[in-house]
Structures are given as C-alpha cells and as structure tokens.
Copies of this chain bind each other. A is one copy, B any other.
Amino acid sequence: MQARLGKVYLIGAGPGDPELLTLKAVRALAQVDVALVDDLVDRRVLEHAPDARVIAVGKRGGCKSTPQAFIERLMVRLATRGNIVARVKGGDPFVFGRGAEEAMAMARAGVPCEVIPGITAGTGVCAVLGVPLTHRGYTHGVTFVTGHTRSGAGPDWAALARAGTTLVIYMGMRRLPEIAGALMTAGMDASMPAAAVQHGTTQQQRHVIATLATLADSSRNAGLGSPALIVIGKVVGLADQVARIDAERRAVA
C-alpha cells in the first residue's frame, strides 16, 4: 500500500515573542502531524499544533546540534510517508538559518513545500527597541549580514561602511571587536550609535546601546552573550526619541 504524499510547511516563527506568529502559520500548524522545531523557538508556538508529534532539531551556536543533512532526510521521510510536517524556524525561513537548503532538498525529493514567511529578528527586534531602521532623514536602507560565515571570510565591511545603510548583524557577537575594528578602519565614525540585543522581543530581552567603539566592551560588561543581534547606524541614536510602551523591558545599560 502506497501512502499518500504529505507536505512540508517551512514556517518562520518570528523573532521570539510567540504572538509575532502569523495567522497563516497558525492555520498551517493546526493541520500538522509532526513538527520539527528549532531550539530557539518559544514552545508556546506549538500550542497551535495540538495534534503534532514534536521533534526538537535545534541548533545553538557552539552546542551539539542535529546535523543539517539529517534534518532534511527526516523531513523527506516523514512527508513521503504521508505526514503533514511543520518545520518551525526562528525568524524568517529565508533570512539566515538553513531554510533555503531545506526548501531545495524538498524540491529535489519531489516533496511539496510551502514557505510561510515570518518576521526576521532584524525588523522585529528593532521595532520593539524603537530603532527606526530606514528613517529617510538618516539612511537609504538597511543591510542584514551574518557575522558568522562558513569559510571564515566575512562580508566586505569596507563596502558596507561606504554604502551607508543601517547595519544589522546576525550571529556577530563573538567577532564583534573584529567587526567594529573593520568598520572603523573603513572610515565609519567611532562614535556611530550601536546596539546589541539579546532575546529581543521576549520578556527576557536585554540590550546595550553604546557606540561602535564601545559596544564590544559594554556588551561584555553587561554579560550579553549569543544569540544577540547587533545594530549599527545613526538610527540607533533615535531610540530614545521613539515612544515605547514597553519601556519596562529590562535595559542593562
């Protein structure tokens, strides 16, 4: 007997706060048989998938994690056996993380795959922090880059400094001194406002607002670690002029 072919929903769960899940994700989760969930996703998201068997396949920087190839094989196997599978990832599936590789693996295996976008940390965290990423008086745009690269060769920091967009750096905490140095060497002002935000949008949010020159020390002194988002640009300096209801969130500096 041949099982009916299942389907994969590749779901972005947003930056942290479980209420930043979309209605579309909620509707998909209600149908799933199995949910493969990253460690950093708040478990309350799974309340929308009451019938799902939950498999934690998370990755955490520096810790033991499920190999990517294993995750992809598991997704294919579950779907070809007729399951509706949710692959639940933090942020947006196509902004860092391996959503692209997973979607392409499903395509190669002939497994139907629907991508449900989520709010990436770069926008979600800045909205809550009061950093207006693209304020037209200060910049033409925003760049999201990774500070952690496979080859070790990172982004072209000199070109990014020259481009003048607000910079949002994912997975950059460990290399922060080196990144800040590269930007200053490229001519970015040492006094450029800069922030680091850990657990952004959640009740555990902690952040530091400093300058390009001081952010690494300030973050270390405040005990901020990975995973955290780094934001660099004039718009960071506007945060205290932006109204925030949630000023009770804990600022460590």
Residues of A within 8 A of B (CB): 7-8, 12, 14-15, 17-24, 26-27, 92-96, 98-101, 103-104, 106-108, 111-120, 123-124, 126-128, 130-136, 140-146, 149-150, 154-156, 159-160, 162-165, 201, 235, 238, 241-246
**Cβ of A189 to closest chain B Cβ, rounded Å:** 16
Given contacts A162-B156, A242-B100, contact A144 B146 (CB under 8 A): no
**Cβ of A2 to closest chain B Cβ, rounded Å:** 21
Question: What are the nearest 5 A-B pairs in CB distance?
Answer: A100-B132, A141-B145, A117-B127, A113-B243, A107-B243
**Cβ of A233 to closest chain B Cβ, rounded Å:** 12
17 A-B residue pairs with CB within 8 Å: A15-B117, A19-B22, A19-B27, A22-B23, A94-B123, A96-B134, A103-B130, A107-B242, A108-B241, A111-B243, A114-B245, A117-B119, A120-B123, A134-B146, A136-B150, A143-B163, A159-B159
Closest to A163 in B: B159
Given contacts A22-B20, A23-B21, A127-B117, contact A140 B149 (CB under 8 A): yes
Closest to A9 in B: B245
Are the CB atoms of B159 and A123 closer together than 8 Å?
Answer: no
Among candidates B114, B124, B132, residue contacting A99 with C-beta atoms closer than 8 Å: B132
Stoichiometry (number of copies)? 2
Are the CB atoms of B134 and A123 closer together than 8 Å?
Answer: no
Are the CB atoms of B14 and A94 closer together than 8 Å?
Answer: no
Are the CB atoms of A92 and B123 closer together than 8 Å?
Answer: yes
- Name, among A95, A112, A119, A126, the residue most crowded by chain B CB atoms within 10 Å (CB to CB): A119
Contacts of A115 in B (CB 8 A): 127-128, 130, 242, 244
Q: What separation, in Å, do the CA atoms of A14 and B20 have in the docked complex?
A: 12
**Cβ of A235 to closest chain B Cβ, rounded Å:** 8
Given contacts A107-B242, A163-B159, A243-B113, contact A132 B94 (CB under 8 A): yes
Q: What separation, in Å, do the CA atoms of A149 and B139 have in the docked complex?
A: 10
Given contacts A117-B127, A144-B142, A163-B155, contact A242 B22 (CB under 8 A): no
